Amino acid sequence: MYRKTWFEINLDAIEENVKYIKQKNKKKFIAVLKANAYGCGDIQVAQAVLEAGAEMIAVSSVEEALSLRKEGYEGELLILGTTNPSDLQVLKEYHITTNAYSLEWVKKVIQLDCEGLKVHLKVDTGMNRIGSKSLDDTKEMLELLVNHGCKVEGIFTHFACADSNTTMTQTQFQLFKDTVEALDYTFEWIHCDNSDASVSLEEDFSNACRVGISLYGISAYEKSLNHALSFYTTLVHVKKVQPNETIGYGATYTTEKEEWIGTIPVGYADGFIRANQDRYLLCNDQLCRVVGRVCMDQAMILLPEKMEVGSIVEIFGPHLSLEKMAEDLHTIPYEIICLISPRVTRRYIKNHQVIREDNVLLELHR
């Protein structure tokens, strides 16, 4: 690593989280690794979850599925988002399972060479994103797909409020259950629980769960998961600034007295967004306020005393929680980690050691 700003992913913690949820809900485990595993690195996280016993990986698009195939993953792979019927040959060639989310989609697919295509039916029980909204449509979809030689291996739905509104989750679950029962078909995979439902919704009707954010220890309900993610940078420049000087673009911060100002090599192009201005980071066990505007590649922090160049600065991690950062920025942990841009080095910890550091920029030019 050259520029010392990194996103640290603890694979040991991820493995423990998979094992914990598996032994708690006793279901098959579908690890949701869309968006490059929420920014954490799809193949690295895939290896960890598979070692911990995950039975399937889910992504959002054909591109994401192919990325995992090209990195060597050969197991069960499901696309949760939409696919174009015209792309079905690539799905078949790479043994990628897709979801059938409308009767219209199915009618197009069956006009093509779809024999052998692996499909999970997607039922909309209230999220109103994708999925079939009527039992008649779902029945017809199943029939058409089966009659044209597709392998309908699963059925699923997605909850809108698993993190808070249990009434709505119950209603959605009941509708899902009624739908599956009415279809009277043997599905290998029946799944509805995302991370929060996987540890809170007590039901043994579904036989698999789809877990994304809790892989990293984030959960609305379960406090015994392990936090797996940290974001660090380092002090690269430290200087004493006189009273009444200003810091950064727009001169939005003025020193009151002689102050120690540190510069960190992280900015909004790394996903450290401008709204971080005036938030606190941790350096040498001391909270340091981000002063002045966050720049594209750099930011400045107010140091309570002189500190050494090279000191590590925690943005979130063991002392500053990702959840708190999300709250401060009026968003959710998902968005913060997905925004950590590809140029930030990913550092992986396994068996308590750094096992690898990946940077897309260096790979492109290798």
Ligand X SMILES: *Cc1c(COP(=O)(O)O)cnc(C)c1O
Which residues of the shown chain bind ligand X in the complex (CB under 6 A)?
32, 34, 80, 158, 194-195, 210-214
Cβ at position 208, least distance to ligand X in Å: 11
Choice between 194 and 234, CB closer to ligand X? 194
Active site residues per annotation: 34, 249
DSSP bridge partners of 345: 6
Residue nearest to ligand X (CB): 212
Cβ at position 100, least distance to ligand X in Å: 14
Cβ at position 14, least distance to ligand X in Å: 13
Backbone angles phi, psi at 266, to 5 degrees: -150, 140
Contact 134, 102 (CB under 8 A): no
Cβ at position 312, least distance to ligand X in Å: 29
Choice between 209 and 307, CB closer to ligand X? 209
For residue 48, is it left (φ>0), alpha (ψ between -120 and 50) or beta? Answer: alpha
Choice between 163 and 358, CB closer to ligand X? 163
Cα separation, 224 vs 204, in Å, equals 22
User: CA-CA distances (angstroms) from residue 213 to 179, 332, 338, 351?
Assistant: 27, 11, 11, 22
**313: Cα within 13 Å, side-chain hemisphere:** 29
Q: What is the DSSP string of 59-85?
A: ESSHHHHHHHHHTT--S-EEE-S---G
SS3 assignment, position 197:
helix
* Amino acid symbol at 135: L
For residue 169, give every residue at least 6 positions away whose Cβ sits within 8 Å of its Cβ, in sequence order, or none.
Answer: 159, 161, 162, 197, 201
For residue 241, give every residue at least 6 positions away whose Cβ sits within 8 Å of its Cβ, in sequence order, or none.
Answer: 247, 255, 258, 259, 260, 261
Cβ at position 113, least distance to ligand X in Å: 27
Q: Inter-axis angle of helices 11-25 and 42-51, to 10 degrees?
A: 50
Cβ at position 323, least distance to ligand X in Å: 14
Locate 132 and state its tokens.
């079939």
Locate 48 and state its tokens.
């960890």
Residue 260 buriedness (CB in 10 A; 0-12 / 13-18 / 19+): middle
Choice between 55 and 297, CB closer to ligand X? 55
User: CA-CA distances (angstroms) from residue 358 to 40, 266, 333, 346, 352?
Assistant: 10, 17, 22, 5, 18
Choice between 212 and 292, CB closer to ligand X? 212
Choice between 169 and 276, CB closer to ligand X? 169
DSSP bridge partners of 303: 260
Contact 307, 283 (CB under 8 A): yes
Cβ at position 161, least distance to ligand X in Å: 11
Choice between 54 and 247, CB closer to ligand X? 54
Choice between 189 and 268, CB closer to ligand X? 189
Cβ at position 20, least distance to ligand X in Å: 14
Contact 234, 264 (CB under 8 A): yes
